[in-house]
């Protein structure tokens, strides 16, 4: 193998090998529009930019690179709030027995509504950004919020959650242990779990969360239309439990079932649970155990979300598991761009798709992978910078001190 990351060519862009049925059912365009109508009522809510990097595209030999910059999503620096807030909205409609209505944000924050929601407590586990988004949504809606983090979660991430009034519990073990503890305590105390990952018997809320993410993709499609681009030809998307990747892959597969973009799903090699599940070849989810020790904190998940996995298994084309240095290089490229390209502040989990694209276009890679990717001057590559500088100390270590350098054999020689 020439490259230092693992890959699986799954569907190879061959539409006949795909099955968008579940994607069409989970991601109807009407749901994305409903989520967008809700999001647009949030005070201060704005569309995030779709950033074009034309000079980098030329350097890499592709037609265009477009980065949906979620570092600028509200004050939260991450896309995650799109899912959490929409799921809370749908859950409140259910608790209030008004599922067939569209309630306004103003009503949901009113005293009358608050009185009806007396005693409602929301809770979730997080590896950082989902908890921050959920805590923020609960603060907006005046609801108590309990967030569970694992022992390796950095202090700045915990403080960012607590700042929005949530009670934070640190759990021994990894992210998956925090998920289990949150579910157990919720059951004991009668709290509502608003988890971004699903498990057997717990699917409704994770579905709403994934549908909430598609509001961001509606924005992107509107922005592409403004550029005269009907759809991207390639989508590079990062995965933790896979919910966000499934929403991207599912949204585009439902919208363009006969001619979807080519999807590349990217994970850290130390927490590649989707990759390992595909590699197992039995169509089922498989877990990755251990400390999941990667700088990509948002992607450090060992258990795939079964709901998300189905969508990825049935529609994605290439799965890659990359080392941390690929994400670190992505952060540096986005933060210190070529002359004429705009700067994008990107955190570890946000930058890994760009780092992967860069590696695929510049490092020596295996011929079968190169052929499967079909990247050329006609390619319009889309990715989401899912987070900005969400962990300032780690961000400085990587950008300023050169932590996780590119291995010598892949460095620029000219």
Ligand X SMILES: Cc1ncc(COP(=O)(O)O)c(C=O)c1O
Please give the positions annotated as active site. 80, 127
User: Least distance in Å: CB of 280 to ligand X?
Assistant: 19
Q: Is 353 in the site for ligand X (CB under 6 A)?
A: no
Nearest to 51 by CA among 391, 340, 411: 340
Q: Is 34 in the site for ligand X (CB under 6 A)?
A: no
d(CA 78, CA 345): 11
Stretch that binds ligand X, among 101-109, 235-243, 319-327, 375-383 (CB under 6 A): 235-243
User: Least distance in Å: CB of 204 to ligand X?
Assistant: 16
Q: Is 196 in the site for ligand X (CB under 6 A)?
A: yes
- Run of H or E including 368: helix 367-373
Complex with ligand X: residue 160 or 369, whichever CB lies closer? 160
d(CA 334, CA 347): 10
Nearest to 245 by CA among 60, 17, 79, 414: 79
Q: Is 239 in the site for ligand X (CB under 6 A)?
A: yes
d(CA 371, CA 346): 29
User: Least distance in Å: CB of 132 to ligand X?
Assistant: 9
Stretch that binds ligand X, among 31-39, 239-247, 257-265, 357-365 (CB under 6 A): 239-247
Complex with ligand X: residue 34 or 196, whichever CB lies closer? 196
Q: Is 242 in the site for ligand X (CB under 6 A)?
A: yes
Complex with ligand X: residue 312 or 369, whichever CB lies closer? 312
User: Least distance in Å: CB of 273 to ligand X?
Assistant: 10
Complex with ligand X: residue 193 or 243, whichever CB lies closer? 243
d(CA 214, CA 254): 11
Site string for ligand X, 300-319 (x = CB under 6 A): -x------------------
# residues near ligand X by CB under 6 A: 22
Stretch that binds ligand X, among 100-108, 123-131, 285-293, 395-403 (CB under 6 A): 123-131
d(CA 125, CA 105): 25
Q: Is 350 in the site for ligand X (CB under 6 A)?
A: yes
Site string for ligand X, 280-299 (x = CB under 6 A): ------------------xx
CA atoms within 13 A on the CB side of 87: 28
Residues from 355 through 414 that contact ligand X (CB under 6 A): 386-387
d(CA 333, CA 329): 6
- 334 — phi, psi (to 5°)? -70, -35
Q: Is 334 in the site for ligand X (CB under 6 A)?
A: no
Q: Distance of alpha carbon 260 from its chain centroid, rounded?
A: 19
Complex with ligand X: residue 20 or 347, whichever CB lies closer? 347
Residues from 129 through 188 that contact ligand X (CB under 6 A): 129-130
Complex with ligand X: residue 131 or 260, whichever CB lies closer? 131
Complex with ligand X: residue 328 or 365, whichever CB lies closer? 328
Stretch that binds ligand X, among 42-50, 55-63, 124-132, 222-230 (CB under 6 A): 124-132
What Rg do the C-alpha atoms of the chain give, in angstroms? 20
Give the burial class of 414: count Cβ atoms within 10 A of its Cβ; 0-12 exposed, 13-18 middle, 19 or more buried: exposed
Q: Is 326 in the site for ligand X (CB under 6 A)?
A: no
Site string for ligand X, 69-88 (x = CB under 6 A): ---------x-x--------
Cβ–Cβ under 8 Å, residues 334 and 351: yes
Nearest to 11 by CA among 304, 246, 319: 319
Structure tokens at 158: 């915990």
- Sign of CA pseudo-dihedral 303, 10, 323, 236: negative
User: Least distance in Å: CB of 55 to ligand X?
Assistant: 25
Cβ–Cβ under 8 Å, residues 51 and 66: yes
Nearest to 218 by CA among 235, 237, 231, 234: 231
How many other β-carbons are positioned within 10 Å of the β-carbon of residue 4?
16
Q: Distance of alpha carbon 59 from its chain centroid, rounded?
A: 27
User: Least distance in Å: CB of 391 to ligand X?
Assistant: 10
User: Residues interacting with ligand X, by CB under 6 A?
Assistant: 78, 80, 127-130, 196, 238-245, 298-299, 301, 349-350, 386-387
């Amino acid at each position: 193998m020439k490259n230092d990351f693992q890959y699986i060519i799954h569907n190879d862009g061959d539409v006949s090998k795909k099955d968008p049925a579940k994607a069409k059912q989970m991601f109807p365009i009407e749901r994305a529009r409903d989520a967008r109508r809700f999001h647009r009522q949030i005070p201060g809510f704005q569309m995030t930019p779709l950033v074009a990097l034309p000079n980098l595209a030329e350097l890499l030999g592709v037609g265009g690179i477009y980065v949906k910059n979620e570092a600028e999503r509200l004050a939260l620096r991450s896309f995650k709030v799109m899912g959490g807030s929409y799921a809370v909205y749908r859950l409140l409609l259910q608790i209030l027995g008004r599922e067939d209505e569209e309630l306004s944000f103003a009503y949901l924050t009113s005293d009358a509504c608050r009185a009806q929601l007396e005693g409602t407590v929301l809770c979730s586990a997080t590896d950082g950004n989902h908890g921050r988004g959920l805590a923020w949504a609960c603060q907006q809606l005046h609801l108590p919020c309990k967030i569970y983090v694992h022992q390796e979660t950095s202090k700045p991430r915990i403080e960012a959650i607590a700042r929005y009034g949530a009670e934070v519990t640190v759990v021994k073990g990894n992210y998956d242990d925090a998920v289990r503890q949150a579910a157990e305590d919720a059951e004991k105390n009668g709290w509502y779990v608003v988890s971004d990952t699903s498990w057997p018997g717990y699917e409704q809320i994770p579905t709403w969360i994934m549908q909430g993410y598609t509001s961001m993709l509606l924005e992107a499609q509107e922005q592409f239309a403004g550029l005269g681009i009907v759809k991207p030809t390639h989508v590079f998307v990062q995965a933790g439990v896979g919910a966000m990747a499934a929403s991207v892959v599912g949204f585009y597969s439902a919208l363009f079932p006969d001619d979807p973009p080519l999807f590349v799903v990217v994970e850290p090699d130390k927490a590649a649970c989707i990759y390992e599940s595909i590699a197992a070849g039995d169509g089922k989810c498989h877990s990755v155990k251990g400390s999941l020790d990667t700088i990509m904190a948002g992607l450090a998940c060992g258990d795939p979300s079964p709901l998300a996995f189905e969508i990825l298994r049935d529609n994605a084309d290439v799965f890659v598991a990359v080392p941390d240095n690929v994400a670190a290089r992505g952060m540096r490229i986005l933060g210190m761009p070529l002359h004429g390209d705009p700067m994008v502040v990107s955190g570890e989990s946000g930058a890994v798709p760009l780092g992967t694209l860069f590696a695929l276009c510049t490092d020596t890679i295996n011929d079968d992978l190169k052929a499967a990717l079909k990247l050329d001057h006609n390619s319009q590559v889309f990715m989401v910078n899912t987070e900005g500088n969400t962990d300032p100390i780690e961000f400085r270590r990587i950008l300023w001190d050169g932590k996780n350098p590119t291995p010598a054999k892949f460095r620029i020689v000219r």
